[in-house]
């Protein structure tokens, strides 16, 4: 675009003279700055680009801004999620597309002029801040219609909405990778193209058939030959479901480099799985706790021990993240509490936890907050930060380790 009434070298020189700026002090090229005739400050938006986002864009990844009326907008690369916030500056940001920086100016022998145009003046920009994806919605979506076996699909209870991966992407504020990880963590499975969680009672049925079969064939010790197991159970449950359950409760046995070569050759074609003791015991604890909610601890422990398959050993450590033990009450009680249902926002999470219980030891609270940690903030850092203002952190010094409690309860705890 042509600039009318172009500035001349004479005009520039006379201003320099007034300003007492010698020609010898400056580079020979002057850039005269104009507002563009098509000055348009609404047509563009400034987006602060995090290095990870720029790299993702350069690699041709899908980058999407997702938002609806309820949630604030987020930007997702294929693997990460960023909060999008509008920032305001009182300064004027003049966008000059072709302006040259001093270091890049080619010196000319005689003074010369370049005409530059400002095409927009900005006072706002969008900031990106890396965040944890908002995945709680994922669980509630999948729980609209849990899978309870092929026969139950037609039931009135199982007509809730089912979601494909693309539909979930449309509804959940998280990147593809984060959503895939979360689906795996909540042990979701694809059935007929839809992501589903298994109905708990249905899972109990699958497990009991599986465990019975293991018992009859002494597979608990020897390992489960997967193909044989599948061929027996596939009359009752879909193969994909059995495989899924095995994957979640058993580990593939890596063939030991045995000394006996003959035996090794015999077994080479068969995949064996061994039930994971911790996972199976945890599952049995969940069965007991889920229905009772609160339980006398010693009664619970003995019931639990009797319920698990022969040869498996229960241990309180297996309950991490699914149950709370209250040792201060008399008798001691245990109650069911999973991290999945807690608020995702840090301060809300703490408020919730401290409503349930007034004080927590570090090992007790860790399973209920560790999902909120980031590379930059571990559990301890998160506690210290959250407790700086309103609450109090102290070392109990009584051998129970560090405790975190509300400041208002401080008097009560000093007496202990």
| DSSP code at position 186 | T
Give phi and psi for 366, each to the nearest 5.
Answer: -50, -50
Find the binder of another protein among 10, 88, 101, 389 (CB under 8 A).
101
45 vs 293, which CB is nearer to another protein? 45
CB of 74 to another protein, least distance (A): 10
Return the structure tokens found at 337. 């509490």
Q: Give me Rg for the CA atoms of the chain.
A: 32
Angle at 329 between CA 280 and CA 405, to 5 degrees: 90
- Asked if 95 interacts with another protein (CB under 8 A), we say yes
CB of 31 to another protein, least distance (A): 4
What burial class does residue 229 get, using C-beta atoms within 10 Å of its C-beta: 0-12 exposed, 13-18 middle, 19+ buried? Answer: buried
Q: What's the first-to-final CA gap in the chain, in angstroms?
A: 80
Of 400, 397, 396, give the one whose Cα is nearest residue 410.
Answer: 396
- Asked if 105 interacts with another protein (CB under 8 A), we say yes
Among the listed ranges 117-125, 243-251, 291-299, 363-371, the one in contact with another protein (CB under 8 A) is 117-125
If residue 74 lies in a helix (H) or strand (E), which one and from where to where? strand 74-76
How many CB atoms lie under 10 A from the CB of residue 41? Answer: 16
What burial class does residue 147 get, using C-beta atoms within 10 Å of its C-beta: 0-12 exposed, 13-18 middle, 19+ buried? Answer: buried
Among the listed ranges 7-15, 139-147, 296-304, 393-401, the one in contact with another protein (CB under 8 A) is 7-15
Question: What region, left, alpha or beta, does residue 60 occupy, with left being phi > 0 and alpha being psi -120 to 50 degrees?
Answer: left
Q: What does the alpha-carbon distance between residue 328 and residue 354 come to, in Å, rounded to a whole number? A: 15
Find the binder of another protein among 72, 85, 86, 97 (CB under 8 A).
97
135 vs 206, which CB is nearer to another protein? 135
94 vs 301, which CB is nearer to another protein? 94
| Rounded alpha-carbon distances, angstroms, from residue 163 to 152, 166, 171, 197, 375 | 18, 8, 10, 11, 31
Given a contact cutoff of 8 angstroms between Cβ atoms, the answer to whether 352 and 364 are in contact is no
67 vs 258, which CB is nearer to another protein? 67
15 vs 236, which CB is nearer to another protein? 15
Given a contact cutoff of 8 angstroms between Cβ atoms, the answer to whether 251 and 274 are in contact is yes
Helices within 186-260 (DSSP H only)? 200-216, 219-222, 226-233, 239-249
Find the binder of another protein among 8, 72, 161, 170 (CB under 8 A).
170
111 vs 309, which CB is nearer to another protein? 111
- Asked if 171 interacts with another protein (CB under 8 A), we say yes
93 vs 181, which CB is nearer to another protein? 93
Among the listed ranges 49-57, 138-146, 238-246, 383-391, the one in contact with another protein (CB under 8 A) is 49-57
50 vs 271, which CB is nearer to another protein? 50
| DSSP code at position 59 | T
Given a contact cutoff of 8 angstroms between Cβ atoms, the answer to whether 71 and 149 are in contact is no
109 vs 415, which CB is nearer to another protein? 109
- Asked if 52 interacts with another protein (CB under 8 A), we say no
Q: What does the alpha-carbon distance between residue 158 and residue 174 come to, in Å, rounded to a whole number? A: 27
CB of 145 to another protein, least distance (A): 20
Find the binder of another protein among 8, 55, 62, 152 (CB under 8 A).
62
Find the binder of another protein among 8, 15, 347, 380 (CB under 8 A).
15
Find the binder of another protein among 10, 88, 102, 411 (CB under 8 A).
102
Note the residue count of the chain: 416
| Subset of residues 123 to 162 that bind another protein, contact rule: CB under 8 A | 123, 125, 128
- Asked if 37 interacts with another protein (CB under 8 A), we say yes
- Asked if 356 interacts with another protein (CB under 8 A), we say no
- Which residues of the chain form contacts with another protein (CB under 8 A)? 3-5, 7, 12, 15-16, 18-19, 21, 25-27, 29-39, 43-51, 54, 57-58, 62-68, 71, 75, 90-103, 105, 116, 118, 121, 123, 125, 128, 170-171, 173
């Amino acid at each position: 675009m042509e600039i009318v009434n172009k500035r001349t070298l004479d005009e520039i020189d006379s201003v320099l003279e007034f300003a007492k700026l010698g020609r010898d002090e400056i580079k020979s090229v002057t850039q005269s700055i104009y507002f563009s005739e098509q000055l348009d400050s609404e047509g563009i938006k400034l987006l602060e680009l995090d290095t990870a986002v720029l790299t993702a864009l350069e690699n041709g990844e899908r980058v999407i801004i997702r938002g609806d009326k309820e949630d604030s907008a987020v930007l997702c690369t294929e693997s990460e999620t960023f909060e999008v916030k509008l920032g305001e500056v009182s300064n004027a940001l003049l966008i000059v597309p072709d302006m040259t920086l001093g270091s890049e100016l080619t010196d000319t022998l005689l003074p010369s002029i370049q005409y530059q145009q400002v095409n927009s003046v900005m006072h706002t920009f969008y900031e990106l801040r890396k965040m944890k994806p908002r995945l709680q919605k994922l669980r509630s979506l999948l729980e609209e219609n849990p899978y309870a076996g092929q026969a139950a699909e037609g039931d009135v209870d199982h007509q809730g909405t089912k979601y494909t991966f693309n539909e979930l992407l449309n509804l959940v504020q998280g990147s593809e990778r984060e959503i895939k990880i979360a689906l795996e963590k909540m042990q979701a499975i694809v059935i007929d193209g839809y992501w589903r969680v298994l109905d708990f009672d249905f899972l109990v049925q699958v497990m009991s058939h599986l465990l019975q079969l293991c018992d009859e064939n002494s597979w608990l010790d020897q390992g489960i030959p997967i193909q044989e197991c599948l061929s027996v159970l596939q009359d009752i449950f879909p193969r994909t479901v059995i495989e899924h359950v095995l994957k979640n409760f058993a580990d593939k046995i890596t063939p030991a480099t045995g000394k006996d070569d003959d035996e090794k050759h015999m077994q080479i074609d068969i995949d064996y799985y061994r039930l994971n003791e911790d996972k199976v015991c945890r599952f049995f604890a969940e069965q007991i706790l889920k229905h009772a909610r609160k339980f006398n601890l010693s009664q619970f422990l003995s019931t639990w021990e009797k319920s698990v398959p022969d040869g498996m050993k229960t241990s309180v450590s297996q309950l991490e993240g699914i149950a709370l033990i209250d040792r201060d009450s008399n008798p001691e009680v245990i109650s069911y509490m999973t991290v999945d249902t807690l608020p995702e926002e840090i301060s809300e999470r703490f408020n919730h936890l401290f409503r349930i219980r007034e004080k927590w030891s570090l090992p007790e609270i860790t399973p209920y907050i560790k999902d909120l940690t980031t590379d930059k903030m571990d559990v301890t850092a998160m506690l210290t930060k959250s407790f700086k203002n309103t609450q109090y952190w102290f070392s109990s010094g009584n051998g129970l380790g560090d405790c975190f409690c509300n400041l208002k309860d401080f008097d009560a705890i000093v007496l202990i």
